[in-house]
Copies of this chain bind each other. A is one copy, B any other.
Amino acid sequence: MAGDTLTVGVVQCALGGSREENVTRVLGLVRGAAARGAGLVVTPELLEGPYFCRQESDAFFAWAHPVEGHPTLARFQALAKELGVVLPFSFFERAGNAYYNSLAVVDADGSLLGVYRKSHIPDGPGYEEKFYFRPGETGFRVFATRAGAAGAAICWDQWFPECARALVLAGADVLLYPTAIGSEPGNPSLDTRDRWRRAMVGHAVSNVVPVAAANRIGEEDGQLFYGSSFVCDQAGNLLVDLGRDEEGFGLATLDLAAIRRERASWGFFRDRRPDLYAALLTADGRV
């Protein structure tokens, strides 16, 4: 388990190439971040290929792979062990006839701590994820990594305060959001970048917890991914603020012990009212 200081890295790059090109690019950036002191590195969602959910096509089911024997996961594990860095890996998981949008969390010794399956699945023009992914049933998972207690979520999960709260209730020191988001083919005038950050900044403040999000950049078949990967502290201040088309990584060092003390002092978890929250367990607010 953790020292009480964590240097978290976020990696951002274009991922429109072949699997080999994409994985090589990502792992090269991970190596750079680790050389600068990262203890945990967040990389983008579904990094092996283009964001195939832009359209509904059964051809892409062939891209899924079981966690067992996953060749890219093996490369992540090898590099994690070599560099001593915690390395979540986002991939299209096949589990029998169920397909998930999943995150395998690799500890700093290369061991696989477990898999989280994305709980909230978007659906709309350009983001047709409900066609591909069964909503995950793992629940929200916090992984006890060598770098700290990592609350792992995936992209669309980042818009849901319930997910962030559940992860911090379960002991997360930091929230991680591998992401693939950009322009809206169904609504070209809508730029969701600021909303995207504001939602997660809100989670940071409301839970007194730092947040790290890694997004892809580049154009893929008319869809422009806006990068803007960031790390914010427990007050929502941006510590890492990558651009919309910048390839690279950013690092932020967090004093987890000080943040835990600050979280207790703010009293949000002291003053919560679970006795009044029954409506949150409904779809329509009717208790």
Residues of A at under 8 Å CB distance from B?
A: 119-124, 135, 137, 139-140, 156, 159-162, 164-166, 169-171, 194-195, 198-206, 235-237, 265, 267-274, 276-285
Contacts and interface: CB of A to CB of B under 8 A. Distances in A.
A195 B233 CA distance: 11
Contact of A268 (B159, B200, B237): B159
Given A198-B201, A280-B166, A122 B267 contact: yes
A162 B280 contact: yes
Given A120-B272, A162-B277, 14 more contacts: A119-B273, A156-B271, A161-B203, A162-B165, A162-B276, A162-B280, A165-B280, A169-B280, A170-B279, A195-B236, A198-B204, A201-B201, A274-B280, A281-B281
Nearest to A139: B276
A200 to B, nearest CB: 8
A206 to B, nearest CB: 5
A133 B37 CA distance: 48
A21 to B, nearest CB: 32
Contacts of A270: 123
Contacts of A279: 140, 166, 169-170
A205 B197 CA distance: 10
Contact of A273 (B120, B198, B201, B285): B120
Contacts of A282: 169, 274
Contacts of A160: 206, 268, 271-273
A272 B277 contact: no
A279 B269 CA distance: 13
Count chain B CB atoms within 10 A of each CB in A160, A203, A237, A273 and give the residue with the most. Answer: A273
User: Would you list the 10 A-B pairs with minimal beta carbon distance, nearest first?
Assistant: A202-B202, A169-B285, A161-B161, A198-B236, A199-B205, A170-B285, A274-B281, A166-B279, A198-B205, A120-B271
